Amino acid sequence: MAGSNHFFTSTTMLYLVFLYVHLLLFLRFSGVAVSQSIIQSLPGFVGALPFELETGYVSVDDSNDVQLFYYFVKSENNPTEDPLIVWFTGGPGCSVLTALMFENGPLYFKHAKYNGSLPTLMLNPNSWTKISNILYVDAPVGTGFSYSRSLEGSFTSDTKSAKQSYIFIRKWLMHHPEFFSNPLYICGDSYAGMVVPIIVQDISDGIEIGHKPSINLKVMLSTPIGFLLVETFDSHSCLLGHVSSYMHKKKTVLKLITLPHISQREITRCRGLTQNTSTCI
């Protein structure tokens, strides 16, 4: 991924603060159920953004006014058919803006000697948004722009965060029905790898009991678990506690996804580098 070798500097931190304020201006008078704004330009980027960036809030706990913030970048390829990736960052408590800017998003910072101005934003030629829609979510509550107006609503746990994330996904899809049929990938890195499987289990439960909208769940991608297909959980991951026995037994309700672009040679090489062969798909 381009941008993976980009590191934080004092200039970058100043930019992030500036960017946060810039985005908040768009959301200052937003509603509380589901609110959204289309961002057409960003400080540090010359001209209009060549991709569609949407930001907004989704209410996931009305009694405590818990609002989860998101960035949504529409696929630059075929948004009506490309996968919809829901991305969570670790910590817990690390803003998902780091993923958007430093991991797999469409922008990254140009490295240059500090001259007193804001850093320049560049297009990432290896952005995952070249072939997928990505919904970046600030979770759990208290992360990034996500907040609660009550003290009780500010308390969280892995299971509580997962349930709120599931509510978030359902509500977001209800307000973006054009993505109902897109293959859904639930993804996350670092500590999010402990929460993503719980979210997948909650989605699986909802599929079984008929929650609407019907979610087209296909793939889970996360660490520390690694890259796993929802039908190929092995006992190793289950015994480690990364995947509960309940989810492990229920895996067959989900359809198998194949990745034909990965050659057998690549899989063999991967298995020679790791003992956990399930990460090699």
pLDDT at 192: 86
Q: For residue 64, with 0-12 CB atoms within 10 Å meaning exposed, 13-18 middle and 19 or more buried, which class applies? A: middle
pLDDT tens, position by position, 114-163: 888 888 999 999 999 999 999 999 999 999 999 999 999 999 999 999 99
Residue whose tokens read 């818990």: 66
- Given this model, what pLDDT does residue 246 score? 45
- Average pLDDT (85-91) is 92
Q: What is the pLDDT of residue 118?
A: 87
Q: Provide the pLDDT for residue 19.
A: 58
pLDDT score at 228? 46
Which of the pair, 276 or 119, is modelled with greater confidence? 119
pLDDT at 251: 44
pLDDT surpassing 90 at residue 54: yes
CA–CA separation, 22 and 66 (whole Å): 22
pLDDT, mean over the chain: 77
The alpha carbon of residue 180 and the mean position of all alpha carbons in its chain are separated, in whole angstroms, by: 17
Average pLDDT on 64-78 reads: 96
For 181-207, the pLDDT digits (tens) are: 999 999 988 888 889 989 999 999 999
| The pLDDT of residue 219 | 81
* Domain 10-224: which CATH number of 3.20.20.100, 3.30.450.20, 3.40.50.620, 3.40.50.1820: 3.40.50.1820
Predicted pLDDT at 220: 81
- pTM of the predicted structure, to 2 decimals: 0.71
Q: Which amino acid is at 128?
A: W
Looking at residues 152-178, what average pLDDT do you find?
94
Compute the distance between CA of residue 37 and CA of residue 121 in angstroms, rounded to an integer. 21
The answer to whether the CB of 224 falls within 8 A of the CB of 194 is yes
Check residue 49 and give its pLDDT. 95
- The per-residue pLDDT for 117 is 85
pLDDT of residue 57: 96
CB under 8 Å to 240, separation ≥6 — which residues?
none
Share of the chain above pLDDT 90, in %: 50
- Using the predicted structure, report yes or no on whether residue 66 has a pLDDT greater than 80: yes
Q: Do residues 107 and 100 touch, judged by C-beta distance below 8 A?
A: yes
Q: Where are the domains of the chain?
A: 10-224
Which of 44-53, 73-82, 110-119 comes out lowest in average pLDDT?
110-119
More confident residue, 63 or 271: 63
Range of weakest confidence among 127-136, 169-178, 205-214, 235-244: 235-244
DSSP element (H, E) containing 134: strand 133-137
**Residue 267: is its pLDDT beyond 60?**
no
Cα(40)–Cα(54) distance, integer angstroms: 9
Note the pLDDT tens digit of each residue in 4-48.
Answer: 444 455 555 555 555 555 555 444 434 445 678 899 999 999 999
Q: Write the burial class of residue 235 (CB in 10 Å: 0-12 exposed, 13-18 middle, 19+ buried).
A: exposed
